[in-house]
Amino acid sequence: MSRRAPRASIDPDVRKTWLRRALPLVKAHKTLLITSLTLSFAGLIVQVQIPNLVRIGIDDAVVDRSGELTTYVWWIVALALVQGFINYLARLYLLRTAYEMEYDLRNIVYSHLVRMPFGFYDRVQTGELMSRSGSDIRAVQMYLAFGPSILVQCLIAVVAFGLMLSINVPLAIVAMVTMPIIGVLGVSMRKAIFPVSWLIQARLAQLATVVDENIQGVRIVKAFAAEGRQLRSLAESADRIRWAYRQDARIRSRWNPMLDNLPRLGLALVLLVGGLMVIDGHTTVGTIVAFNSYILMLQPPFRMLGMMIMMGQRASASARRIYEILDTPSDVVDGPDPVVVPLRGDLAFEDVVFAYPNGTVALEGLTLRIRPGETVAVVGGTGSGKSTLGRLTARFYDVTSGRVTIDGHDVRDLSLASLREQVGIVPDEPFLFSLSIHDNIAYGKPHASRDDVIAAAVAAGADEFIRNLPEGYDTVVGERGYTLSGGQRQRVAIARALLVNPPILVLDDATSAIDVTVEQMIHSSLRDKMRGRTTLIVAHRLSTISLAERVVLMADGRVIADGTHESLLATEPRYAEVLAAQVTA
């Protein structure tokens, strides 16, 4: 099933309130929402007629004995049935509206997240993003969809007050005397609860981060027998949330009883004043019964009004947290007129300076040229900037200064999608999805045939172990591929890159976890696959370096030597030192 694009987006104007920024989303679903609210209001109109019928029935059939009691009973039953059916439809459309808004909001947030560059994820915790994409979205959705419905429910007070005025003006005023007080209390409660709502959402995000890190790093936790320490960390986060929830409960317990019980004070006043009026002959018993019903009818809406105030404050806090993400621009985007061209693979780094978002300088004035079809191994110590070359080639980051070009085109001028389709990267720590082996290999080419997938797996030396799995290529790997060994994951990742058949291939220490014997088999296949393809190999093993026609030695973010393996070994002592260090490591 194809994904439906969101019908609207969030208003980008940061000067507006959070609710005004969300209005385009509400307007996009206005037909469903208005239908629901109209039905809900119609249900209220029917509901307020029932106490009036009770009043007339009591006065006519019970007190004056001038009417038939069963007639009024059947009318009340009929109105109750009509109201029930209308409320069913109203609820159905309201829930559909809520889920449609949630769908759009999730897609808006996720679409923005996938556009964000690597630097964004370097500084933002996964748990924070999970919280903002989960509980924060739900809080906003609840308010946008159910808030208007609660307001319509509160209109019952207006309708009921109108009917009460038509029956008995003095008694109607007595019945509604507590309502202004409820309004003042509601505003005070809103001001008190907002800071706590923000705190709760922020601490829920912190807890989500702790849980995410413990699940993702469970093998490290167990390896160091650190379960107790991690449980204490989780307990500390949970304690901070508990404290915030206690503050929330304290505010609710202070304000909610007053909001709930003020209408009951109106009930007592109606009974007192109405009783005296009945004694004096100024009203009827049926009127007091009807007014009591109206006041009881007003209690749920005003209780919901208190709930709406709390929902609104939580939604406000959550919306601001979501907007923090949406208002963060991506600094790696397509230019105004992106170029889409087939690439030959003439790769050049021209006086490139690059620093990661945390300030770590990786490259300082690096200049390097790799000709089309050439295989180059990049060697250097830890932190020399080797892996950064591949990341800049695929434009995961933009250079600080200088430029990276392919076939003479600055990568910043190329379409991102086109560029990344033509630059295949196999990282040293490959990520596999919880899908079948086939689907993981075909991830970059979803419609690839099984024969093509097998051919890529054979070239990557993965076919044999895949066929020995319980369901072969249809075997579903565990989360992140942890049901496979490190070497198996790397072979699947190599097959995934080879299947796409990109003109530029970056192997970032892609065989580091593979047995030397198996690596030799893979290398024999790779030599054939790399023929005519520009290949950049981040190498640590001597066997991997042997794949390259040319070797580049890096140190401190610069190229310090360039030549064949034999020439560097003979003329460059630093090259021999790097190789010796890697062998001993």
CA separation, residue 157 to residues 95, 305, 366, 396, 399 (Å): 24, 12, 73, 58, 63
**pLDDT for the residue 225:** 65
Segments in the chain below pLDDT 50: 1, 584-585
Supply 217's token pair.
Answer: 């790093």
Amino acid making up residue 268: A
Alpha-carbon distance of 164 to 552, in angstroms, equals: 89
Asked if CATH classification 3.40.50.300 holds for the domain at 347-584, the reply, yes or no, is yes
The three-class DSSP label of residue 127 is: helix
CATH number for 18-326 (one of 3.40.50.720, 1.20.1560.10, 3.30.1740.10, 3.90.1150.10): it is 1.20.1560.10
The three-class DSSP label of residue 430 is: coil
Alpha-carbon distance of 548 to 564, in angstroms, equals: 8
What are the φ/ψ torsions at residue 572 (nearest 5 degrees)?
-125, 100
Helix (H) or strand (E) segment spanning residue 505:
strand 504-508
Spans of all domains in the chain: 18-326, 347-584
CA separation, residue 555 to residues 358, 423, 549, 562, 570 (Å): 20, 25, 20, 12, 18
